[in-house]
Amino acid sequence: MFPARPGEEITNAHRIPRQEDEYDPESIGFDITKPDSDLDHIRMINTYDRPTLQWFTREQFEDRFRYNPLDPPRPQGVHPEEWTQQAKERAQNNSNSSLTLTRDRVTLLKRIGNLWNGETVCGKHLLADQCPSITDFTADLDEDELRRLYYNTELGRETLLAFGDADWFEQATGFLKPTTVFRKQVWYDLSYKTRWLFNNLDELPTLRGDPNEGLVHRLTVGLVCLRNALRDRRYGAYSDWRSYTIDAIGKDEHGQMCAYEILTEHNNWKLYRNTYRKMRALNQNGITPIAVFDGRSTAYTVFNHWHREGLAELPNGPFNSDFNVEDGQEQIETAYEDPGYDWAVADWTTTWKLKENLLGQDGPELTKSKIASLTW
């Protein structure tokens, strides 16, 4: 329950921490972080008065509500099998995640797809305007219709505000999600459901880039291409090489081909390891690998992981969080240039550093049309 009121009887309640690694499933008798395929426990959400979550065993549920949650009273005219399936989905908390594609919803998705692809939309450009606000694309649209794109309106905004930041709270996601980029929050990152829409609906544009990448990844690819273009170097994005796809390529001042891999924060450690093996293969074939991270913290976390997994060797062991980017770059360059170390990454930087060097106050004078003409 949230929140517990003064004097409220909560003897039979259990405190569930926000972070799933802080609680012991044994204390409550079941693991709330995993779907309960056997439906031993039924979750009930109440939004009236205050948001409340309660879990009941099937026996407790039937005693409290006077019907079996998997066999509720069936209205006349509803097919038995359809009603049974609906009851099971309700018990499993599978709220309706479908989307009716109204005119305004399709319009906004089209605009976001074109923005994602590097086009100027409603006078705004993803790079040139440094991630404009979602409101720049919705002023002429019905906000009530657009809400379903942002969150599951069936759960209710108050419930999402109360529980949405808990690791264990399984919610039917929206189609557009927030992400932090350039130290601000924007609301047009894409969920997997939205990617499915773009990939399967003719009225929506085909998205450029890796089908699994997020907005920060996509934006960073654009920044890398912009930097290479400004240096009058050959550049490209999403280039196929053997069985791999390289995020971005470009030649340095000596004509040496460089491959840029964008790495963002996630929990897929296997993917990080595979990315290193990819860069090692590039390096062994005469292509200089350069890593670009969404932040310094991600960089050091990934470098340390590669080192501890035995994939590569850092000169002075794992990094700590006190290293700034410049010092970290110096260590990486040392490891790459010294044949005594097994290290395949020649250099690295961050999304923020690229943005500051290219679009910041001390960056080159760029017109919006020049940035918008970039192909990435």
- Taking the alpha carbons at both ends of the chain, their separation in whole angstroms is 48
pLDDT of residue 37: 59
Boundaries of every domain in the chain: 20-91, 103-207, 217-359
pLDDT over 80 at 12, yes or no? no
Which stretch, 4-8, 195-199, 238-242, 258-262, has highest mean pLDDT?
A: 258-262
The percentage of the chain sitting over the pLDDT mark of 70, rounded to a whole number, equals: 94
How large is the C-alpha radius of gyration of the chain?
25
Sort residue 324 into left (φ over 0), alpha (ψ -120 to 50) or beta: beta
Residue that is written with structure tokens 């969404």 in the block: 294
- Alpha-carbon distance of 234 to 288, in angstroms, equals 14
- pLDDT for 18 equals 82
Which residues lie closer than 8 Å to 66 by C-beta, 6 or more apart? none
Where do the H-state alpha helices sit in 11-71? Answer: 58-65
Quick check: 296 and 350 in contact, CB under 8 A?
yes
33-76 pLDDT per residue, tens: 765 656 788 888 777 777 888 888 888 888 988 888 888 888 88
Cβ atoms of 320 and 296 closer than 8 Å: no
What does the pLDDT read at residue 94?
Answer: 55
Residue from 209, 19, 250, 255 nearest 115 by CA:
209
> pTM (2 decimals)?
0.76
To the nearest whole number, what is the mean pLDDT of the chain?
88
The lowest-confidence range among 108-122, 196-210, 316-330 is 316-330
What is the C-alpha separation between 189 and 112, in angstroms, rounded? 9
pLDDT of residue 113: 96
Give the residue, 39 or 116, on which the prediction is more confident: 116
pLDDT value, residue 82 = 81
> What is the model's pLDDT at position 96?
54
SS3 235: strand
Cα 208 to Cα 215: distance, rounded to the nearest angstrom: 11
Cis ω before 3 (30° cut-off from 0): yes
Residue 239 near residue 245 (C-beta atoms within 8 A)? yes
